[in-house]
Structure 1
């Protein structure tokens, strides 16, 4: 079987490739590679029927691969899909992919790549910061070491969703990209962080607050005297889950965002 199309995503976007293959009613396998990562999209008579990348399958894989603005691709005709993981129409997928492609353009102005690593920023205003639960989940995993891709895998979310959240948190001044994460050292939180955490949490949950905080510190495998800055947001997220009242939980989290940023 001869390859009829091959090239680089920097010259021809994945969206344009799929539009061309779909319009030509082509059948076969489209291979996409970016460094050590790879993905496959299968078409049957111009319709997208299956997509796979790592352990992920289906429509969302197509959107994830759309975020790869660099890499190599090759199309091999007449290769049958091993299974069908896509049930929505190709037209619908391409429309959504076009919408996301526009958003990726904005996101890439802030994220150098999905391998980028971020830290909580100490600059900017916190007066209007109010995070949704999913945003807190992402923020809790940002430690100056994990990449966007690693956070997505950890939370079982797609790269686009995590990248969009990090983009929002960064433009709000909450985060900044780490340019040299390999040389990052283990920063220890200041005791004032725990003092504020105990006060704010006890105000909401009562005198049992400090006990819950100490238990969560142990569950994270750390001790208070040498607690790493990289796990501070995760600790806040874990103890906040003990607050059953969603309004009070949101208020507590908002207070702690300011504390986390110093």
Structure 2
């Protein structure tokens, strides 16, 4: 008989702990909060998970926060891949930490349906410095997309998106409105030199992953050109040009498929 029940009656971490102790192999199938997911266990250890667009440990963290829905454990089913190498204890501790942080985030972000928009900035205010992840989110804010749609647009976990937005709200860079409120015209935010340098560095790392040691010299050369342009006052086009040059170099060194893979990875940071 399959182990099954309601997430409202028993939390997922408690069920996983029970199965772990028994050393079972199988898959948890969950449906809750308008989404579905699976957690695969082998000999009591979580090996793989998927929830919507999320995979691996981030899918586990997502599902650990579901408080509504159903779960069923089907024994004997294994995943063909291993995406999780952390112990169950480490996963559940991190999931608990994130749930605690979620409660803090919800003080300012009460719903994923809220729409972020930029607040006007007075001339002469300090330049804005953003990390690559913050930049990927900021470039999608247009005063129209809800937080849930930003999550889809960036491909980032909801937790990461909300954590960045919480910081932006706290710093006074953005505000949140309900979908019923009148849309506010988005205010363009020019990235600081530091943000552009961080973005170029992130692009360089993705290129290095595509070419390996054999092409690292070519990647470094193009990166240094872009860095010099940015330090001389270059804007976002310096990073865009870097991406174009690196894509051509990767295509010559590793082939078109590798270049395409590089562009797919880097595009969310630029669009």
Q: Same fold (TM over 0.5)?
A: yes
Which one of 59, 69, 73 corresponds to residue 76 of structure 1? 73
* Length-normalised TM-score, structure 1: 0.61
Deviation at 1:78, TM superposition (A): 0.3
Aligned length, in residue pairs: 201
1:244 maps to 230
The answer on whether the counterparts of 2:113 and 2:178 sit within 8 Å (CA) in structure 1 is no
1:195-230 per-residue CA deviation (whole Å, 9 max, x = no partner) reads xxxxxxxxxxxxxxxxxxxxxxxxxxxxxxxxxx34
Quick one: distance in 1 between partners of 2:109 and 2:88? 29
Tell me, yes or no, if the aligned pair for 1:26 and 1:77 is still in contact at 8 Å.
no
Shift, 1:57, TM fit: 2.3
The CA deviation at 1:76 is 2.1
Report the alpha carbon displacement of residue 53 of structure 1 after superposing the two structures with TM.
2.0
1:104 pairs with 2:102 = yes
CA contact (8 A) 1:30 1:73 kept: no
Offset at residue 32 of structure 1 (A): 2.6
Verify the 8 A CA contact 2:119 2:174 in the aligned structure 1: yes
Alignment of 1:30 with 2:57, yes or no, is no
Which of 232, 237, 250 does residue 188 from structure 2 map onto? 232
CA distance in 1, matches of 2:232, 2:21: 49
Contact persistence 2:118–2:187 (CA under 8 A): no
- Using the TM superposition, give the Cα deviation of residue 138 of structure 1 relative to its aligned residue in structure 2, in angstroms: 1.3
Structure 1 residues not aligned, in runs of 5+:
188-228, 250-262
- 2-side partners of 1:47 and 1:176: how far apart? 42
Query: What is the match of residue 165 of structure 2?
Result: 166
Q: Please tell me whether the aligned partners of residues 7 and 66 of structure 2 are also in contact (alpha carbons under 8 angstroms).
A: no
Deviation at 1:79, TM superposition (A): 4.3
In the alignment, structure 2 segments of 5+ residues that lack a partner are 197-225, 236-271
For 2:86, which of 66, 85, 88 is the aligned residue?
Answer: 88
**Matched-pair contact (CA < 8 Å) for 1:8–1:71:** yes
Partner of 2:60: 62
Map residues 1-262 of structure 1 onto 2, 5 A cutoff: 2-9=1-8, 11-66=9-64, 68-84=65-81, 85-122=83-120, 130-181=129-180, 184-185=182-183, 229-230=185-186, 232-233=188-189, 236=190, 241=196, 244-245=230-231
Cα distance in 2 between the residues matched to 1:246 and 1:29: 55
Question: Using CA pairs below 8 Å that are at least 6 residues apart, which structure has the higher relative contact order?
Answer: 1
TM-score (normalised: structure 2): 0.60
Does the 8 Å contact 2:33/2:66 carry over to 1? Answer: no
Instruction: Mark the CA change 1:155 to 1:97 in structure 2 (over 3 Å): closer, same or farther.
Output: same
Aligned CA RMSD, in angstroms, stands at: 3.6
Alpha-carbon deviation of 1:97? 1.8
Cα 1:231–1:174 shift into 2, 3 Å: closer
CA distance in 1, matches of 2:232, 2:97: 32
SS of residue matched to 1:173: coil
